[in-house]
Amino acid sequence: MLEEKLKAYRIILASGSPRRKELLAEMGLSFELRLKTVEESYPDHLKGEQIPSYLAKKKAQLYQGELKANEILITADTVVWHIDSSLEKPGNREEAFEMLQALSGNWHEVITSVCICTKDSTQLVSDLTRVKFADLSPEEIAYNIDKYQPFDKAGAYGIQEWLGLVGIEEIAGSYTNVVGLPTQKLYKALTERLDQAESQ
């Protein structure tokens, strides 16, 4: 099991997201939080998966040169991609309302990239999930914004919260990826990395 293989290592989670902390804990993995502030900006020409991949690597670069031989750093970023644009964290209620109106009745993509770093190597893992909202009424959108204050979430919603529970009709791909961490792909990547280390 992965948790047994990780006994000789220390996982460092560089994310303040409570969802990512919960998912990592639910995977049975022990970890230490190590947080630094990073400006989540990226070049304008980046599209789709390129954006979270760039930002996950940008976050990891803050820790370059600090990692010890037995430490594994995990950084991540999630974007909501809709009609060739990234719906980021809304700055205010109006932006949140506009985002959810745009998603109402439509498919969109949620893309999460995870950067897994050791002292000597960097690996990037990404996943894409397609999500379809039912038609949302203005009252439902307003209720979600006022009650759940989704200003820390890309696309202005959390799939695990009220609007996700009552508003999402279909999902194609990993659910946990939409929450903020593609757990199956992360588990596979860590397992393969440790198996390779053991065989050397």
Question: What residues are labeled active site?
Answer: 77
Q: CB of 192 within 8 A of CB of 74?
A: no
Which ranges of 15-92 does DSSP label H, i.e. alpha helix?
Answer: 18-26, 50-61
Whose CA is closest to 80, among 98, 99, 93, 66? 99
With 0-12 CB in 10 A as exposed, 13-18 as middle and 19+ as buried, what is 121?
A: exposed
DSSP type of residue 151? T
